[in-house]
Homo-oligomer: A and B are copies of this chain.
Amino acid sequence: MYAQLIALDWGTTSLRAYRLGADGQVLEQRSLACGVMQLPTGGGTVAGHATESGFELAFDEACGDWLQAQPGLPVIACGMVGSAQGWVQAPYCPTPARVADLSQAMIRVQTLAGAGLHIVPGVIQHSRLPNVMRGEETQVLGLLQSLPIDTRDETLLVGLPGSHSKWVKLAAGCITHFDTFMTGELYAAACAHTILGRTQEPGGAFDGAAFDQGVAVALSSDGDIGPLSTLFSARTLGLTDQLSGAAQPDYLSGLLIGHELRSLAEVLRARNKSAALPEVVLIGSDALCERYHRALHACGFPCVNVAAQATERGLWSLALAAGLVSL
């Protein structure tokens, strides 16, 4: 079947490539370990041209054959490929941002193989403490396309757990506000590079009870003192034989995610001037979404759904808005 678009989700560590047909249907997909921070090195040849560029080589590996089979196919990419460390910098669009804003601000790169690559900009929020994202904006807009058309103007909170989790408010089809938590990256650093890792026995299956215990501590009055202090309990509960080494990683994960959601709920209540918490849609890996789902439930968020195929849908709708493809 003929494709209409090649869509790339090009992040820090991985590059996912999609060949999309009519209506954005996924015809084929690939995943390569060619993120912006681990590009191919040593040079090579692309379409008969010698090149030292890791971006050219990774691009060719991801979709060179697709382009050869169907020359002239439009290509679109989101993620860190548009950052200062990326192929070409696609400057951030400010909030409020909608599909039209992002599609108009895409940056075109001419590749060695002759294809034009359209890079989606990230989004910046010029709050007193500024906030930025790259890639998540595309996922959020893809989610929007998957909603029933008469609900797309409603206000929605989208959670994107990861190294840096993002909490994005959608209103009237527009990204109006977002927050970042470095929970995932701090968790990894605490396990690998602090005393907490020394008593952990990692590698076991997910320990839901230990995770829930960590969440409960963060949400309890014991959590009032904040994560910089409660973290130490992952060690002291071990020293006092109340938490096994095997349970410590998931306890710590629950503790940190619990603190993230407790703080998020507090600022949402203050911003919305309401004790009620909004419904949440999660976008992310199954394993992370399961953790956040449990913790959101414990924290009192009323309804949590998980969205699929958000990136492909977002890239398709941006390509549509830019006129790269048509319905």
The answer to whether A190 touches B179, judged by C-beta atoms less than 8 angstroms apart, is no
Q: Name the one of B130, B185, B270 contacting A239, with C-beta atoms under 8 angstroms.
A: B130
Once the chains bind, are B185 and A194 in contact (CB under 8 Å)?
yes
Given A130-B233, A236-B131: A228 and B189 interface contact (C-beta under 8 Å):
no
Copies in the complex: 2
Give min CB distance, A273 to chain B, whole Å.
14
Residue among B231, B237, B267 making CB contact with A182, cutoff 8 Å: B231
A227 within 8 A of B: yes
Task: Write out the residue numbers on chain B whose beta carbons fall within 8 Å of the beta carbon of A240.
Answer: 124, 126, 130
**Is A229 a contact of B189 with CB atoms below 8 Å?**
no
Q: Which single residue of chain B is at the shortest CB-CB distance from A164?
A: B232
A186 within 8 A of B: yes
Q: Does A275 count as interface, using CB distance less than 8 angstroms?
A: no
Q: Would you give the shortest CB distance from A67 to chain B, in whole angstroms? A: 33
Residue among A164, A179, A256, A266 with most chain B CB within 10 A = A164
* Residue A72 interfacial (CB < 8 Å): no
Q: How many residues of A contact B (CB 8 A)?
A: 48
Does B131 lie within 8 Å of A232, measured CB to CB?
yes
Segment from A18-26, A53-61, A217-225 that makes contact with B? A217-225
Residues in B whose Cβ lies below 8 Å from that of A256: 228
Q: Which residue of B lies closest to A270 (CB)?
A: B224
Which of A39-47, A143-151, A257-265, A303-311 contacts the other chain? Answer: A257-265
> Does the CB pair B183–A194 fall under 8 Å?
no
Q: Are A182 and B232 in contact (CB under 8 A)?
A: yes
> Interface digits, A121-136 against B, CB 8 Å rule (1 contact, 0 not)?
0001010111110000
A230 contacts the other chain (Cβ, under 8 Å)? yes
Contact yes or no, B229 A263, CB < 8 A:
yes
A51–B186 Cα distance when bound, in Å, is 42
**Complex interface bits, A159-189 against B, C-beta within 8 A gives 1, otherwise 0:** 0000010000000000000011111011011
Distance in angstroms from A256 CB to nearest chain B CB is 7
The residue of chain B having its C-beta at the shortest distance from the C-beta of A266 within the complex is: B224
A186 touches B186 (CB 8 A): yes
Q: How far is the CB of A165 from chain B (nearest CB, A)?
A: 9
* CA–CA, A188 and B217, complex, Å: 25
Report whether A228 and B130 are in contact in the complex, using a CB–CB cutoff of 8 Å: no
Task: Looking at the assembled complex, report how far the CB atom of A130 sits from the nearest CB atom of chain B, in whole angstroms.
Answer: 4
Distance of A130 Cα from B232 Cα, bound (Å): 9
A100 at the interface (CB under 8 A from B): no
Interface residues of A in 235-260 (CB under 8 A from B): 236-237, 239-240, 242, 256, 259-260
* A-B interface, 3 closest residue pairs, ranked by CB to CB distance from nearest: A226-B263, A129-B233, A130-B236
Contacts A131-B232, A225-B266 known; list 17 others, CB within 8 Å: A129-B236, A132-B236, A179-B229, A180-B229, A180-B232, A182-B228, A183-B228, A185-B194, A185-B195, A186-B189, A186-B194, A189-B189, A189-B194, A192-B193, A225-B263, A226-B226, A228-B256
Please give the residue numbers on chain A whose beta carbons come within 8 Å of chain B beta carbons, in ascending order.
Answer: 124, 126, 128-132, 164, 179-183, 185-186, 188-190, 192-195, 217, 222, 224-233, 236-237, 239-240, 242, 256, 259-260, 262-264, 266-267, 270
